[in-house]
Every structure is written in C-alpha cells, then in structure tokens.
Amino acid sequence: MASYSNLLSPKKSLNLLLICTVLAVALPAEALLSCSTVFSSLEGCATYIVLGGRPVPPECCSGLKSLISTAKTIPDRKSFCSCIKGVAYSATPEELARAAGLSRRCHARVPFKISPDVDCSKLLHITQTTNAIMATSPRLMLLSFILIIYMVVAPTPAKAVITCDTVYDGVKPCLNYVLFGGSVPIDCCNGLESLIASATTTADRQSACSCVKSLASHATDEELSRAASIPGQCGASVPFEISPNVDCSKVK
C-alpha cells in the first residue's frame, strides 16, 4: 500500500490517468461530453489505477460503462479521447497498463486506445488537438489533480464536516486566476465565502487548511502569491495562511 506522502507527490499527482481531468479546458462547442463529465464518471477508478493489486471497484466499471453509453456522437467521443490522451502523457507504464485493462476487466468497449500515442484525429476527426490542451493547461491539471487525489485518499479529522471534496468544489473557480492571473472571477469569491461560512468548527477549519496546504506545496511562487491575494480581493478572511508551510494543527 502506498503511503499518503507518495500519493501526494507531484509525480503521482499527474499519474491518475482516468480521474485526472482538465477541469477548465475548452472543448469544441458542439461536444456534449465535457472533461468534467469524464472526471465524474471515472473517479471511482482512481485508487485502482494508482495502487493496483486489488479488484476493479464496481463503481469504476459502472462509471466507465455509463460514460461509454453517453458518448453517442463524434464530438462526444472526440472530447472523451482528448481528455484521456491529455493526461496519459504523465502516467507510468504500470498505470497505463492498469487503465488500459479496464475495458477487459469491466467488459466495456472504449472507442479508442488508452495511450499517449493514440491519434484521436484519425478516429474522430478531431478539431482541437491534445497538444493544444496540454500547452494551455498543464499547471491547471497538476494543481487540480493534486487536490482530487487528496480528496480520494486522505483522511479528514473525525469531527470535521468540511471534506476535501467540499474544499475542491469551493476553490475550483479560482484555479484559472491562480494559474494565469487576470481578474478574480466572482464565482471564485462566492465559492470562497461559502466555504468559509461552512467551516464552523475547528475541525472544519483544520481540514480545509490541510486540503489547501496540499495544493500549495506544489504551486510556484507566482501561483502562491496570486492564491494568497484572493481573500483580500474577495473581501474574505481565511483563518489560515495559504502556504505550504502553514501548521494546520494550530488553526482554531
């Protein structure tokens, strides 16, 4: 069993082939199947792909089958292929093998090869290349995926109501600003304020702190600076420092 520290390393955080979905990537307008839909459907596969050595969870297979049945059109399958290829570049051979084996283990037919070398354009007449996706959002993938992994495998204090799932939903609209700058979106401020209001206990605030600290430990100095500026720009008071060095056990 891998330790939490291994699972939270930058390398591992990029290696969740199927749950690592590009949350803010722009897909062709005609596509109905977005990367967020792919993520939602396949998050049950995360632990198996990273850790292996266990049966494929039923929720992984049911999510995969549901996703395949949803991808009825060429634009849908194009989006599906692009999302998967976009993160396959960073998977280890073992993780790729486990991901590729899901079709057989789940008795489900994925309409393309799960591989960083798959040519989605030949299969689906793709109009937006995966290289373009990777060029515009690698840091978004990294920071998003780290929190997703933490959400899946990390324990939260027993009395905490705030989970990393809740934190993730709250800060997701802030990621584009953190990575690329510009103006802080109103959805980011709304999500942050809602998250702060929900953290009513010490356990909640410590849990939220741990989730944010996990992200901060893999951010660049510029990204940390932008993230730390968000509370001030939103007129919100965060009860801990947004830093990889914050001691969450001291948050009250």
Q: Which residue ranges does the chain devote to CATH 1.10.110.10? A: 4-136, 155-250
CA 137 to CA 43: how far, in whole Å? 20
When the candidates are 1.10.110.10, 1.20.1560.10, 3.40.50.920, 1.10.1740.10, the CATH number that belongs to 4-136 is 1.10.110.10
Whether residue 250 is predicted with pLDDT greater than 70 in this model: the reply is: yes
Cβ neighbours, 10 Å, residue 181: 12
Average pLDDT for 198-212: 86
Q: How far is CA 45 from the centre of its chain?
A: 13
Average pLDDT for 42-66: 84
CB 142 within 8 A of CB 218: yes
Average pLDDT for 158-170: 68
Q: Is 73 exposed, middle or buried (0-12, 13-18, 19+ CB in 10 A)?
A: middle
Whether residue 229 is predicted with pLDDT greater than 90 in this model: the reply is: yes
Q: What is the pLDDT of residue 32?
A: 61
Average pLDDT, the chain: 72
Whether residue 119 is predicted with pLDDT greater than 50 in this model: the reply is: yes
Please tell me the class of the 155-250 domain.
mainly alpha
Average pLDDT for 127-151: 45
Q: What is the pLDDT of residue 164?
A: 72
pLDDT tens digit sequence for 88-108: 766 778 888 888 899 899 998
Q: What is the pLDDT of residue 170?
A: 80
Q: What is the pLDDT of residue 190?
A: 92
Whether residue 117 is predicted with pLDDT greater than 70 in this model: the reply is: yes
Please tell me the least confidently modeled range out of 19-33, 34-48, 186-200, 213-227: 19-33
Residue 158 pLDDT class (50, 70, 90 cuts): very low
Residue 161 pLDDT class (50, 70, 90 cuts): low
